[in-house]
Amino acid sequence: MAPSSLLLLLLALSALLPLLTLSLDPQSDYLLLMKQSLVGPTTSRWALPPPSSPSSSSSVCDLSGITCDEAGRVTVIDLSLGFLAGSLPPNICGYIPTLQALRLNHNSLRGGFPLGLLNCSSLRELNLNFTGLSGPIPDLSPLKSLRILDLANNQFSGQFPLSITNLTNLEFISFNENRGFDVWHLPESFAALTKLRVLILSRTSLRGEIPKWIGNMTSLTDLELCGNSHIGRIPAAIGKLKNLRLLELYYNLLTGEIPEEIGNLTSLVEFDCSVNQLTGRVPEQVCALPNLKLLQFYNNHLTGILPPVLGMYASISISSVAEARVNFFIFLCLAINSLENYQRIMQIALLCFGFESITIS
């Protein structure tokens, strides 16, 4: 090679050297961007070199809130409850393609849903609960690996992102307290989420009847549809959800009787149907559920007699009665809600049903 050609090659390599050095640790580069754009006590303690300086992966893995695999690749960023304010820098997975979990919950983020997250094909957990994000949510279909999606307690608006029903690995979904969504109805495409254990859609502008196909989602352990103005009857098909531990349907417009089939839910721990328009008796099968700890039916139009099975319980918690003009106030198993004071309820429970203790909360 001629000396002039060799010189040109050396000059070219020297010009590329800063870029090559920068690309040696893109993880550090991105975390530096995070430190600059998400300001708070956690990120302020991060000791990171400037982008033009070489750094080792081990220094990145030692940062608070950062978890790496054995090869030194960042897999988890957990800055939850970090008292952070600002925004997430773009293209996070362009810098950190191995990211599996991002937890930014309980911080103050600016703007809308971070679009750079859509490139995170390895992401399994996304927690943006209580971050103050707003605006529409984009098509989330690219996040095929996602198992946990928590976007609760924000100000998202527009159409509900039904694209989540394409994410068949999902096990946990929470959109709780996002009241800005357009009115929508629960589509049967949710039944395709056969791995789903937790579905929390309370106060998300849902309307219409609770569909019968909900009984096909047999992996569910937690179903929460509160505050959505649901109408019609509680579907008997809910009785097929044998793994269900928590069922919350309060603050709706549900009518009709409580289905006896709920008595098939032997794993059920909490059941709340308060503030609806339910009628008829409370099925004895429901009160006899072996693992039931909390049952609330206050502010309905229930009638009938107290199920004798109540006597099997050793303790009961009684909450305040919001209104005394309904036929029955039921909390845990059944207590009359037209009584004028707590003391009367305590007397009935203690004298008639043999409870050992009562706590008024």
Q: Is the pLDDT of residue 20 over 90?
A: no
- Report the predicted TM-score, pTM, of the whole model to 2 decimal places: 0.82
Q: What would the mean pLDDT of 147-152 be, rounded to a whole number?
A: 98
Q: Is the pLDDT of residue 202 over 50?
A: yes
Instruction: Give how far Cα 278 sits from Cα of 102, 113, 285, 327, 345, Å.
Output: 42, 39, 17, 11, 22
More confident call, 41 vs 282: 41
CA 6 to chain CA centroid, nearest Å: 61
Residue 264 φ/ψ, nearest 5 degrees: -85, -10
The tens digit of pLDDT for each residue in 235-268 reads 999 999 999 999 999 999 999 999 999 999 999 9
Strand, helix or coil for residue 270: strand
Q: Cβ(290)–Cβ(245) under 8 Å?
A: no
Work out the pLDDT band at 8, boundaries 50, 70, 90. Answer: very low
Distance CA 316, CA 349 (A): 9
What one-letter code names the amino acid at 199? L
Whole-number pLDDT of residue 5: 56
Whole-number pLDDT of residue 276: 96
What one-letter code names the amino acid at 26? P
Nearest of 306, 245, 254, 298 to residue 276 by alpha carbon: 254
Q: What would the mean pLDDT of 199-206 be, rounded to a whole number?
A: 98
How much of the chain, in percent, has pLDDT values that exceed 70? 75
Distance CA 261, CA 240 (A): 8
Strand partners, 125: 101, 148
Residue 173 CB neighbours (<10 A): 23
Instruction: Give how far Cα 36 sits from Cα of 26, 91, 146, 219, 330, Å.
Output: 15, 15, 28, 42, 53
Whole-number pLDDT of residue 297: 87
Work out the pLDDT band at 287, boundaries 50, 70, 90. Answer: confident
Work out the pLDDT band at 295, boundaries 50, 70, 90. Answer: confident
Whole-number pLDDT of residue 50: 78
Alpha-carbon radius of gyration of the chain? 27
Strand partners, 316: 358
Whole-number pLDDT of residue 330: 39
Whole-number pLDDT of residue 22: 44
Whole-number pLDDT of residue 11: 43
Q: Is the pLDDT of residue 307 over 80?
A: no
More confident call, 338 vs 232: 232
The tens digit of pLDDT for each residue in 62-108 reads 999 999 999 999 999 999 999 999 999 999 999 999 999 999 999 99
Q: What would the mean pLDDT of 288-304 be, rounded to a whole number?
A: 89
| Domain 55-206: which CATH number of 3.80.10.10, 3.40.50.300, 1.10.1200.30, 3.40.50.720 | 3.80.10.10
Q: What would the mean pLDDT of 159-172 be, rounded to a whole number?
A: 98
How much of the chain, in percent, has pLDDT values that exceed 90? 70
What one-letter code names the amino acid at 64? S
Residue 316 φ/ψ, nearest 5 degrees: -150, 140
Cα atoms in the 13 Å half-sphere on the side-chain side of 346: 11
Q: Mean pLDDT for the chain? A: 84
Q: Which of 49-53, 254-258, 287-291, 294-298 has the highest mean pLDDT?
A: 254-258
Strand, helix or coil for residue 359: strand
3-state secondary structure 86-103: ECCCCCHHHHCCCCCEEE
Residue 319 CB neighbours (<10 A): 16
Q: Is the pLDDT of residue 133 over 50?
A: yes
Give the DSSP H or E segment for 66: strand 66-68
Whole-number pLDDT of residue 351: 39
Distance CA 178, CA 157 (A): 8
More confident call, 294 vs 213: 213
The structural domains of the chain, with segments of one domain joined by +, span 55-206
Nearest of 179, 161, 159 to residue 170 by alpha carbon: 161
Distance CA 65, CA 34 (A): 12
Distance CA 55, CA 2 (A): 36
Work out the pLDDT band at 322, boundaries 50, 70, 90. Answer: very low
DSSP codes of every residue in 264-303? G-TT--EEE--SSEEEEPPPHHHHT-TT--EEE--SSEE-
Nearest of 21, 26, 20, 19 to residue 60 by alpha carbon: 26
The tens digit of pLDDT for each residue in 347-356 reads 444 433 333 3
